[in-house]
Structures are given as structure tokens and as C-alpha cells.
């Protein structure tokens, strides 16, 4: 995989200097809001209604690919690596991922004594760290290729949606940096392989949504910390709501 490193005059804040791969910031924010709504609906359905509400589970399969592709697009910006974007993103994901872990475990539905896999913020963290190692390798630190491989393989085994999600992030960044059919095929196959995890092919719907967003010019403000903080906060809220629902007999626990 080749992620061509570009150290040039910074592109406008809302664009990436790659052939035909440009999104307005407002469009990217709209994709994140859509992913946030889909994720919330999926979690309400899962944790409060035992997945009995129609269509919310299926629609929720679109959320993770949207989050991954937006993150990967932002990390592909030519200014991201020299300005420390990977480092800042990694620390935020780690911090809020840790904060989300207690309610994530308490809500249940996990494997291996209720502790595995790690939540989605750690999935995004694995992608970020792998891309950071690739940047080091492209800068001449050849040992970093081994680090990137180990982070991808070992980290991908520990997080939600496993290697398909991680490979989707890597292929997206590769394609944004250097559009080519191999990267595009890798992204499509990553989405398709989520069918075996999700039990349906709804993750594929993220692709046309992203392609549609390319042509949109939306005035959606950027909330830098909202999407990080919302994840642990909404899990904690669902946990607190579920406790009295269970006691009152309104909740059908798994």
C-alpha cells in the first residue's frame, strides 16, 4: 500500500488536494451528524428495546462506515500529519474511548466475559495509529511499516467490526491521497465483508451516501469535540435509563 506523503502549500481548510477527491467541510459534518443519528437509533433499539423496533438495526449498520470514511478523509489532508492531526486525534479517541468503556460494558451484549471487543472509538484509534505509522514509514523510517502491520493485525483483533473496519479506513485514505482502482476495490471489499459481521449488507449503503455528499455544499458548523464526547455520554444515558426500565418491567433484557 502506498500513501503518498505530500508536504506542500496547505490546501484550503475544507478541501484535500487530490484529483477529484474534494468535500466541503459542511458536507463532511452532515455525514457525521447522519452517522450519529443512525448510531443513536441503533443503540436505543439494542439496549432499550431488545432490537424489536423495525429498521433501526439495519440503518445502524451504515453509521460505522460513515465515521470511518470521514475520519480517514480528514487524516488524508496534506496538512494533517505535519500539523500533528494524527497525534491529537489518537489522544482524543483514547481518552473518550476509555470514558465510554464502563457504560459500554455495563450495557452488555459483549463477548468474552462481557469485556470484548473494545468499543468503536478504539476501532478509530487503531486506524489512526496505523496511518500514523504509515506516515513515519513514508518519511524514511522503514521500521514503521512493521509497526503499522502489527497495529493493524493485533489492534484489529481487539476492536468492534475488526479488520474490515480498519482496512476500510486504510483504503479510504489511500484512495483520497492517490485515487487508484486497487484502493477503491479494497474499500468496497471491506464494506462487503462487513456482511458477515452484521448479518446484512446495509454497510454498503454508506458508499452512495458518501458519493452523494461530494456534490453538496452545506452550511453545517463544525463541532470539534461534540462527536468525541457524545459517544460516552449517550452510552451512560442509555445505561441510566435502562436501570429503572428494567426494574419497572418495561425492558426485555437479553
For the segment 70-125, what is each residue's pLDDT rounded down to a tens digit?
999 999 999 999 999 999 999 999 999 999 999 999 999 999 889 999 999 999 99
Give residue for cell 461530494: 214
For residue 20, give the C-alpha cell.
477529484
Q: Is residue 229 part of a domain?
A: yes
Q: What angle do CA 142, 145, 148 make, to 5 degrees?
A: 145
Rounded CA-CA distance 61/2 in Å is: 29
Count of CA atoms in the C-beta half-sphere (13 A) of 241: 12
| Any domain includes 12 | no
d(CA 23, CA 44): 31
> Is 11 a member of any domain?
no
Q: Is the pLDDT of residue 252 over 80?
A: no
Is 70 exceeded by the pLDDT of residue 253? no
Residue 10 within a domain: no
Residue 43 near residue 56 (C-beta atoms within 8 A): no
DSSP conformation class of 116: B
- Structure confidence at residue 22 (pLDDT): 85
Q: What are phi and psi of 98, to 5 degrees?
A: -65, -45
Indicate the average pLDDT of the chain. Answer: 90
Structurally, the chain folds into a number of domains equal to 1
pLDDT tier for residue 215 given thresholds of 50, 70 and 90 = confident
d(CA 187, CA 249): 44
- Domain containing residue 175: 25-248
Q: Positive or negative, the Cα torsion across 220, 221, 222, 225?
A: negative
Residue labelled with grid coordinates 480528514: 74
By CB neighbour count within 10 A (0-12 exposed, 13-18 middle, 19+ buried), where does 39 fall? buried
**Do residues 254 and 109 touch, judged by C-beta distance below 8 A?**
yes
Q: Is residue 195 part of a domain?
A: yes
pLDDT band at 249 (very low <50, low <70, confident <90, very high): low
Instruction: State the cell numbers at 166.
Output: 480498519
DSSP state of 253: -
Residue 116 backbone dihedrals phi, psi, to 5 degrees = -130, 140
Cis-peptide into 117, omega within 30 deg = yes
Q: Confidence class of residue 243 from pLDDT cuts 50, 70 and 90? A: confident
13 is a domain residue: no
Counting Cα atoms < 13 Å in the Cβ hemisphere of 130 gives: 29
**pLDDT recorded at residue 164:** 98
In 147-251, the DSSP E strands lie at: none
| pLDDT single digits (tens) 190-210 | 999 999 999 999 999 999 999
Kindly report, residue by residue over 125-170, the tens digit of the pLDDT: 999 999 999 999 999 999 999 999 999 999 999 999 999 999 999 9
The verdict on residue 5 lying in a domain is: no
Answer whether residue 198 is part of any domain: yes
Q: Which residue has the cell 491529537?
A: 88
Residue 19 pLDDT > 50, yes or no?
no
Amino acid at each position: 500500500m502506498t500513501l503518498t506523503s505530500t508536504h506542500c502549500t496547505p490546501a484550503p481548510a475544507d478541501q484535500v488536494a487530490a484529483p477529484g477527491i474534494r468535500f466541503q467541510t459542511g458536507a463532511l459534518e452532515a455525514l457525521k451528524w447522519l452517522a450519529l443519528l443512525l448510531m443513536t437509533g441503533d443503540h436505543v433499539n439494542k439496549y432499550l428495546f431488545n432490537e424489536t423496533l423495525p429498521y433501526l438495526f439495519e440503518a445502524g449498520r451504515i453509521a460505522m462506515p460513515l465515521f470511518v470514511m470521514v475520519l480517514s478523509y480528514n487524516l488524508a489532508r496534506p496538512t494533517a500529519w505535519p500539523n500533528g492531526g494524527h497525534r491529537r486525534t489518537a489522544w482524543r479517541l483514547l481518552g473518550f474511548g476509555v470514558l465510554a468503556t464502563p457504560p459500554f460494558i455495563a450495557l452488555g451484549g459483549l463477548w468474552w466475559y462481557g469485556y470484548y471487543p473494545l468499543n468503536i472509538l478504539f476501532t478509530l484509534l487503531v486506524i489512526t495509529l496505523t496511518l500514523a505509522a504509515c506516515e513515519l514509514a513514508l518519511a524514511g523510517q522503514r521500521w514503521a511499516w512493521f509497526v503499522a502491520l502489527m497495529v493493524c493485525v493485533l489492534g484489529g483483533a481487539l476492536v468492534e467490526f475488526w479488520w474490515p473496519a480498519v482496512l476500510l479506513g486504510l483504503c479510504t485514505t489511500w484512495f483520497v491521497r492517490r485515487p487508484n482502482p486497487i484502493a477503491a476495490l479494497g474499500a468496497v471489499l471491506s464494506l462487503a465483508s462487513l456482511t458477515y459481521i452484521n448479518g446484512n449488507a446495509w454497510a454498503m449503503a454508506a458508499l452512495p451516501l458518501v458519493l452523494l455528499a461530494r456534490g453538496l455544499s452545506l452550511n453545517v458548523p463544525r463541532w470539534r469535540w461534540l462527536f468525541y464526547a457524545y459517544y460516552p455520554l449517550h452510552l451512560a444515558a442509555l445505561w441510566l435509563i435502562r436501570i429503572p426500565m428494567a426494574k419497572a418491567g418495561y425492558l426485555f433484557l437479553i
